[in-house]
Amino acid sequence: MSAAPRKPWGGRFAEPTNAFVERFTASVGLDQRLAHHDIMGSIAHARMLARVGVLTDAEAGAIVAGLEGIETDIVEGRFTWQVALEDVHMNIESALVQRIGEVGKKLHTARSRNDQVATDVRLWLRDEIDAIDGQLRETMAALIERAEREAGTLMPGFTHLQTAQPITFGHHLLAWFEMLARDRERFQDCRRRVNVMPLGAAALAGTSFPIDRIYTAQLLGFDRPTENSLDAVSDRDFAIEFVAAAALLMTHFSRMAEELVLWSSVQFGFISLADTWCTGSSIMPQKKNPDVPELLRGKTGRVNGHLVALLTLMKAQPLAYNKDNQEDKEPLFDTVDTVRDSLTAFAGMLPGLIVHAERMRESARAGFATATDLADYLVRHGLPFRDAHEVVGQAVRRGVETGRDLAAFTLDELRSFSPLIGEDVFAVLTLEGSVNARDHLGGTAPRQVRAAAARARARLDNT
């Protein structure tokens, strides 16, 4: 039986770590995904130490070559992770010493695992935010393209899930675009606060070695080093902020998914999802279940839970680093995975969406959707809006009683509610007349939808 690997901090201890404590405190099962960024940070640190004379060029060269070899082993699946070495940092450092000898032990000069892990997580999260930004951009571009195609497709607009006014499907899709545009801005803004370098803060107070933190930050692509060593090792605001932005994105996806679930039901019949994005029932052969949007809706609770977990994790910690912070990784990692999978799912569903335009139009025609247009018509003919509201409400009540839409009334019937109504009223009672009348910036008129889509594309191209 091979001896347990010696822990780099073991000099203080007379007895070996309890096996349960070793397992309970280890994080390598989770944080090994930080390996690439841990090696990035270590290479930059070694080069900085050589620049300031703490390491010789030869020592730094050996360390860099050793780390690059370890990364190749990890990528090609030859690296053995050991729970006894606790985490990604000590696994890689131990492997480095085995590979290049005693000089490998010099790498940890002027740093601590406290600033090392904070740096690794920021490097990793920065890359993930960039990947999420690319996925968001792709999804938003697909929404613009689809909105242009559906700029004239009529559908009911809802408030309280009751028919309110006619809109176009393109206008609705651009509302989704605006939601995602705000999400993208939040992630981009969050990235600025992620992209600050803790390395050099060491355990909590900095180091007595003559380090050059600005040089290290430049090597790693950080905007700047952190200003305060205590804050640098204990701050997890950036992770909380990211998960908060992710929770908002998932809330938006949940709302969109809910509409896809409703619209694809027989009761609505507005759309059909492609077969490749649905599943069936084990007992009911007629079923085509919208499982993907349902899961998008459900995974929102998962990310919301991670946000609460991180806030709770940090709420009572004294400065500076505490072992509690090891618990930041599971919610953060899972949030990133969930967001990226959700973006893949949503972008995948959009191209295969089948729109049942006639069913949408029929539904828009069925709920007195042009009642507000009749009220506006009366206002333009001199009736105060509150009086016009009363008149149209009476007309709608008659429509409910007789089972007819306002457009099906005769002119004489409409004039029985107000003598201000003339033959031109029927132009405003049509669905086309209603949406075309909303011909202003932000309105649902097809002309405005196409113009909004063009502006959206320009915004996307410029960011």
Q: What is the pLDDT of residue 9?
A: 53
pLDDT tier for residue 285 given thresholds of 50, 70 and 90? confident
Q: Which CATH class is domain 114-152+167-197+231-356?
A: mainly alpha
Residue type, 132: I
Q: How far apart are CA 39 and CA 31, in angstroms?
A: 13
Instruction: For residue 163, give the 3-state DSSP assignment.
Output: strand
Instruction: Give the C-alpha separation, 27 to 86, whole Å.
Output: 6
Query: Rounded CA gap, 53 and 57, in Å?
Result: 9
The domain segmentation of the chain, as residue ranges, is 14-109, 114-152+167-197+231-356, 362-461
pLDDT(2) > 60:
no
* pLDDT tens-digit map of 210-234: 999 999 999 999 999 999 999 999 9
The string of pLDDT tens digits covering residues 231-265 is 999 999 999 999 999 999 999 999 999 999 999 99
pLDDT, the chain, mean: 93
Determine the pLDDT at residue 200: 98
Angstrom distance (rounded) from CA 428 to CA 407: 9
Q: Is 458 within 8 Å of 140 (Cβ atoms)?
A: no
Q: Do the domains 14-109 and 362-461 sit in the same CATH topology, yes or no?
A: no
Which helix or strand (DSSP H or E) is residue 166 part of? strand 162-168
Domain 14-109 maps to which CATH number in 1.10.275.10, 1.10.10.60, 3.20.20.370, 3.40.50.360?
A: 1.10.275.10
- How large a percentage of the chain has pLDDT more than 70? 95
Catalytic residues: 160, 281
- Centre a 10 Å sphere on the Cβ of residue 59 and count the other Cβ atoms it contains: 18
Per-residue burial over 287-310, b if 16 or more Cβ lie within 10 Å, else e, is: eeebebbeebbebbeebbebbebb
pLDDT band at 286 (very low <50, low <70, confident <90, very high): confident
Statement: residue 1 has pLDDT above 50: no
Model-wide pTM > 0.85: yes
Give the single-character DSSP code of 289: B
Is the confidence at residue 79, as pLDDT, over 60? yes
CA distance 303 to 371: 41
Mean pLDDT of all residues in 66-77 = 98
Nearest to 378 by CA among 392, 365, 366: 392
Residue 32 has pLDDT above 60, yes or no: yes
Q: Just give the CATH number of 362-461.
A: 1.10.40.30
pLDDT reported for residue 281: 76
Number of C-beta neighbours around residue 382 at 10 A: 9
In degrees and rounded to multiples of 5, residue 392 shows phi and psi of -70, -35
**Quick one: pLDDT at residue 10?**
61
State whether residue 321 is helix, strand or coil.
Answer: coil
User: pLDDT band at 369, cuts 50/70/90?
Assistant: confident
The pLDDT value given to residue 4: 56
55-64, 99-108, 135-144, 275-284: segment of lowest average pLDDT: 275-284
